[in-house]
Structure 1
Amino acid sequence: MWIYYGLLAALFLGFHGICKKMSVKENKVIPVLFLTTLSGLFFILPIFILSRIAPATAQDLGIYIETIGPKDHLLICIKSLLMTCSWILGYSALKHLPISIVSPIRAAGPFFTLLGALFIYGETPSPVQWIGFCIILISMWLYSRVGKLEGIHFTKNRWIISIVLATLFGSSSGLYDKFLIQYQNYSPLTVQFWFFFYVVIMVGGVLTWLILKDQNHVKDTSWRWTIPMVGILLVLADYSYFRGLQDPAAMIMLLSAVKRCQIFIAVFIGGWIFKEKNRKKKLIPLLGVFIGVLLILFATV
Structure 2
Amino acid sequence: MWMYLGLLAALFLGLHNLCKKHAVQGNEVFPVLLGTISSGFLLLLPFYIGSQFFKEYMIDIQFYINDIPLKTHGFIAIKSAIMAASWVLAYQALKHLPITIVTPIRSAGPFFTFIGAITIYHEKPNSYQWIGFFLIIFSVLLYSRIGKKEGIHFKRNKWIFAIIGATFLGASSGLYDKFLIQSLSLNPQTLQFWFCFYTVLILLIILAFTWFPNAEKRKAFKWRWSIPLVGVLLQIADYFYFKALQDPDALIMLLSAIKRSQILIAVVIGGVLFKEQNKRKKLVPLAGIMAGVFLILYS
Q: Matches of 2:146 and 2:255 in 1, distance apart?
A: 27
Letter in 2 for 1:284: V
Residue in 2 that maps onto 1:3: 3
Q: Compute the RMSD of aligned alpha carbons.
A: 0.7
1:174 aligns with 2:169: no
Q: Matches of 2:127 and 2:297 in 1, distance apart?
A: 13
Residue in 2 that maps onto 1:278: 278
Consecutive unaligned residues of structure 2, counting only runs of 5 or more, are none
- CA deviations on 1:44-93 (whole Å, 9 max, x unpaired) are 10111100111111001110000111101000001000000000000000
How far off is 1:220 after superposition? 1.0
Q: Matches of 2:114 and 2:135 in 1, distance apart?
A: 14
How far off is 1:234 after superposition? 0.3
Per mean C-alpha deviation after superposition, the further-off stretch among 190-199 and 219-228 is: 219-228
Residue in 1 that maps onto 2:123: 123
How far off is 1:212 after superposition? 5.4
- CA deviations on 1:100-133 (whole Å, 9 max, x unpaired) are 0000000000000011101100001001100000
Is the contact made by 1:245 and 1:252 (CA closer than 8 Å) also made in structure 2? yes
Q: Matches of 1:58 and 1:288 in 2, distance apart?
A: 44
Letter in 2 for 1:84: A
Residue in 1 that maps onto 2:298: 298
1:92 aligns with 2:97: no
Residue in 1 that maps onto 2:242: 242
Consecutive unaligned residues of structure 1, counting only runs of 5 or more, are none
Q: Matches of 1:29 and 1:94 in 2, distance apart?
A: 10
Letter in 2 for 1:146: I
- CA deviations on 1:223-252 (whole Å, 9 max, x unpaired) are 111000000000000000000000000000
Counterparts of residues 151-230 of structure 1 (less than 5 Å): 151-211=151-211, 214-230=214-230
Is the contact made by 2:212 and 2:218 (CA closer than 8 Å) also made in structure 1? no
SS in 2 for 1:217: helix
Counterparts of residues 51-70 of structure 1 (less than 5 Å): 51-70=51-70
1:43 aligns with 2:8: no
Residue in 1 that maps onto 2:103: 103
Q: Matches of 2:132 and 2:124 in 1, distance apart?
A: 14
Residue in 1 that maps onto 2:137: 137
Is the contact made by 1:80 and 1:199 (CA closer than 8 Å) also made in structure 2? yes
Q: Matches of 1:71 and 1:42 in 2, distance apart?
A: 24
Q: Matches of 2:17 and 2:82 in 1, distance apart?
A: 19
Q: Matches of 1:211 and 1:141 in 2, distance apart?
A: 36
Residue in 1 that maps onto 2:268: 268
Q: Matches of 1:78 and 1:223 in 2, distance apart?
A: 29
Q: Matches of 1:206 and 1:132 in 2, distance apart?
A: 39
How far off is 1:208 after superposition? 1.0
How far off is 1:211 after superposition? 3.0
Q: Matches of 1:185 and 1:298 in 2, distance apart?
A: 29
How far off is 1:197 after superposition? 0.3
Letter in 2 for 1:59: I
Letter in 2 for 1:268: V
Residue in 2 that maps onto 1:12: 12
Letter in 2 for 1:3: M
Letter in 2 for 1:102: V
Q: Matches of 1:211 and 1:129 in 2, distance apart?
A: 45
Q: Matches of 1:207 and 1:232 in 2, distance apart?
A: 22
Letter in 2 for 1:190: T
Q: Matches of 2:192 and 2:212 in 1, distance apart?
A: 30
How far off is 1:204 after superposition? 1.0
Residue in 1 that maps onto 2:147: 147
Q: Matches of 1:218 and 1:187 in 2, distance apart?
A: 37
Is the contact made by 1:210 and 1:217 (CA closer than 8 Å) also made in structure 2? no
Give the TM-score, by structure 2 length.
0.99
Aligned residues: 299
Per mean C-alpha deviation after superposition, the further-off stretch among 101-110 and 206-215 is: 206-215
Letter in 2 for 1:140: V
Give the TM-score, by structure 1 length.
0.98
Q: Matches of 1:279 and 1:137 in 2, distance apart?
A: 19
SS in 2 for 1:277: coil
